[in-house]
Amino acid sequence: GCFVFKPNTKKKKTSSLSLDHFTHGCKGAETSDIRFRLFHDLWNKTKTDIEQDELNKKVLDSLLDFTRKCSITRQHSNWASQMRASEIPTAALMLVNVPDHDMTFQSLSELLQQSVTPHVVSVQAKECAALKHLMKRVLERLMDTLVAAADDEEEEEIEAAALQQSDTPVHRSVHCSLSVLCEWYNTQTKRSSPSKDQYPPVVIIFKDLEAFNQKVLQDFILICRYVERLPLMFIFGIATSPSTIQHMLPHSVSSLLCIELFQSLSCTHHLATVIDKLILTPKFPFKLSGKVMQVLISLFLYHDFSVRNFIKGLALLEHFHSQPLSVLCCKKKEALRNLAQLSHGDLERIRQLPSFTEVCHKLIKDLCKYHKNYYPMLRCLHALTSSLPRYPLGKQIRELHLICLEKNVWETEDYQSAMKLLMLAKDELIALLQKCTEILQPIKSKMMKSAFVQLEDMLNKFKQLDNESRRSKKQSPYENLRSDVLEFIDNLVSHLPPPESQTLNEVCYYSSSSSVRRHLNATPRTSIQAALSSPYYYLPNESLQTDDGSVSNAAPDICIVHKLHLECGRLINLYDWMQAYSTVVSAAEGNDPDSDNFGKVDDVKARFIRAVSELEFLGFIKSTKQKTDHVARLTWGGC
């Protein structure tokens, strides 16, 4: 047998993505919660910026105005409304992007219910194959109840079974007439607005007009013509052209409708709006590659014209789920904060990116180019300024190099004073420029070749000038040319930024000055103290290793004596010091501490005296005249 199960009229609950679902199978799970939050923020921003009612805002506003105007005209009955009483107000809405019709009509229904009338119903052709089905859908959705037709026994049985599980009342009508709807409308109108002047219209939306059966649509309009107590209003969704109404409805039927055409913007205009708001803006950090953009645009233009599918194709979820480094796909401040928290694995992923390898190649080339241009320009600047009075930029090139390493040399006061002194130079300027050309001539970089050509041209102009023009009080050609030379020098020197401004400068520049100072300007006492306190790191003997920082009993004598002297005050009693040393050494050699000869061996005393002498030689202790059997301690802490 065949069993028919009608779907439940209640809306299905849409399942929202949870963090657990996002984390499952997610690469880089340690940052999955941050990426999940970033994804949600961007997705909510997408829905906020690109809502269907925002894309069709103008046409929807026009439709709302049309429905309000028709409603007001009916409420305030006048001669014009009496003349057109037999016509049903009808809006023909031209929408080209068919897949997004549902979203557009949903937005329209919500706007109408919020501002014009609560009585709005939408129907589709696939559920209205016959007139009774169309009547039934209209009544059910307007009255929010189950409606059964008496001539359909199968439907009666199914709906009777549904009634057993529901408390919703059922209205039965033999011919599915609109009389029940009229009675319900009058009841609702009196209940909601006791005033007789307020009659909100009943809006019926035909989403896909072209797909409706022509006979069903014509009969429905003819039936609605005679329902004077029901202020009906139609909205036709048309995806092709306005002539569709003429093809589907004969003149006898279309003359019953007061039709007004509403044209929405083209789908390409909607696409341009989406791209403008989501892609061509720095406010939206997520970007698409050229290939992905081409695929999405091709699908839009040659497949479905759907803005909704285009937004789905942005692949936000897939990007944040599959790319661990998408934790940096956010606003600048947050990206910098997340960058500081990247793990070693994330940094390794950055290193393995193909784009990062290409960037490294380019950065290395730029760094090499920087060095090729830096040193010739440095030598030119030194040649120009090394002979100036008081040497504002130093006499030796190393002095100028140190200035350039630390700051932008063209921003210093010394550089400005050097340029002023060059302005006063006359005969010397030509000779200095000649030195610069000799420096730049063997350099093969493009920038230096261009600079060499410009310098040669300026030198030729200098040689063409005669001496009389230099002595003229007016602005002579010589002075104009000299100004040009100084401006040229300024432009050259602007390419001498500090190395720290160059990316990957750490590859070539060593910057740990403290390490150099520690290696070249050593502090012997600190090294000696470290050796005496931790002899294990200097002598390859496992028995010297300790965990608590103490000195092993098997350590050299001077290490034991040094450790014991650290436990004393300013003055150290030699006898007590020796007794402590003897105890440590005898325990290390396995002697019995209870024996009479424990700690009294001459060999131990001799070793102690030698260790104390070595400490005195190294400067840790000295003899004192205050007490003959005491020595004074000279070092404290790390000193």
Domain 524-633, CATH number (from 3.40.50, 1.10.10, 3.30.70, 1.10.3470): 1.10.10
So where are the chain's domains? Answer: 86-150+172-190+197-265, 269-465+477-510, 524-633
Per-residue model confidence (pLDDT) at position 210: 87
Band the pLDDT of 632: cuts 50, 70, 90: very high
Per-residue model confidence (pLDDT) at position 52: 54
Helix axes 131-143, 179-192, angle to 10 degrees: 20
585 token code pair: 């050494």
Identify the top-confidence range among 11-25, 76-90, 459-473, 582-596.
Answer: 582-596
Q: Rounded mean pLDDT of 14-28?
A: 63
- For residues 201 and 74, is the Cβ–Cβ distance under 8 A? yes
- List, as one string, the DSSP characters of 460-524: HHHHHS-HHHHH-SS--HHHHHHHHHHHHHHHHHTT---GGGSTTGGGT----HHHHHHHHS--H
Task: Give the other-Cβ count within 10 Å of 295's Cβ.
Answer: 13
Instruction: Say whether pLDDT at 61 is over 90.
Output: no
Per-residue model confidence (pLDDT) at position 158: 45
Task: Give the other-Cβ count within 10 Å of 517's Cβ.
Answer: 10
Per-residue model confidence (pLDDT) at position 12: 44
Per-residue model confidence (pLDDT) at position 631: 92
- For residues 366 and 502, is the Cβ–Cβ distance under 8 A? yes
Amino acid at 574: L
Task: Give the other-Cβ count within 10 Å of 396's Cβ.
Answer: 11
Band the pLDDT of 612: cuts 50, 70, 90: very high
Give the strand order in the sheet containing 88-94: 120-123, 202-206, 232-238, 88-94, 257-263
Band the pLDDT of 173: cuts 50, 70, 90: very low
Per-residue model confidence (pLDDT) at position 241: 84
What are 275-334's pLDDT values in tens digits? 877 877 777 888 877 777 788 888 888 877 778 778 877 777 778 887 888 888 888 888
Q: Rounded mean pLDDT of 478-507?
A: 81
Per-residue model confidence (pLDDT) at position 149: 57
**Cα separation of 180 and 150, whole Å?**
14
Per-residue model confidence (pLDDT) at position 530: 84
What are 502-542's pLDDT values in tens digits? 877 766 666 666 665 666 566 787 888 888 888 888 887 87
Give φ, ψ of 437 to 5 degrees: -65, -35
Poorest-pLDDT segment among 1-10, 446-455, 477-486, 572-581: 1-10
Per-residue model confidence (pLDDT) at position 413: 92
Q: Rounded mean pLDDT of 434-455?
A: 89
Per-residue model confidence (pLDDT) at position 513: 65
Q: Average per-residue pLDDT in the chain? A: 78
* 69 Cβ neighbours under 8 A, 6+ residues apart: none
Q: Rounded mean pLDDT of 564-574?
A: 89
Instruction: Say whether pLDDT at 591 is over 70.
Output: no
| Helix, strand counts (H, E) of the chain | 30, 10
Per-residue model confidence (pLDDT) at position 14: 45
Band the pLDDT of 9: cuts 50, 70, 90: very low
Poorest-pLDDT segment among 97-106, 167-176, 401-410, 442-451: 167-176
* Selected residue with higher pLDDT from 383 and 231: 383
95 token code pair: 């929408």
Instruction: Say whether pLDDT at 54 is over 80.
Output: no
Kindly list the distances between the CA atom of residue 369 and the CA atoms of 46, 451, 454, 508, in Å, as whole numbers in the listed order: 43, 15, 20, 13
Per-residue model confidence (pLDDT) at position 474: 53
Poorest-pLDDT segment among 131-140, 150-159, 445-454: 150-159
Region for residue 157 given its phi and psi (left: phi exceeds 0; alpha: psi -120 to 50; beta: otherwise)? alpha
Per-residue model confidence (pLDDT) at position 312: 77
Per-residue model confidence (pLDDT) at position 414: 92
- For residues 565 and 620, is the Cβ–Cβ distance under 8 A? yes
331 token code pair: 């606003």
Poorest-pLDDT segment among 149-163, 343-357, 412-426: 149-163
- For residues 504 and 452, is the Cβ–Cβ distance under 8 A? no
Q: In the CATH scheme, what architecture does the domain 86-150+172-190+197-265 have?
A: 3-Layer(aba) Sandwich (3.40)
* Selected residue with higher pLDDT from 372 and 8: 372
Band the pLDDT of 170: cuts 50, 70, 90: very low
Sign of CA dihedral 578, 581, 587, 593: positive
- For residues 271 and 310, is the Cβ–Cβ distance under 8 A? yes
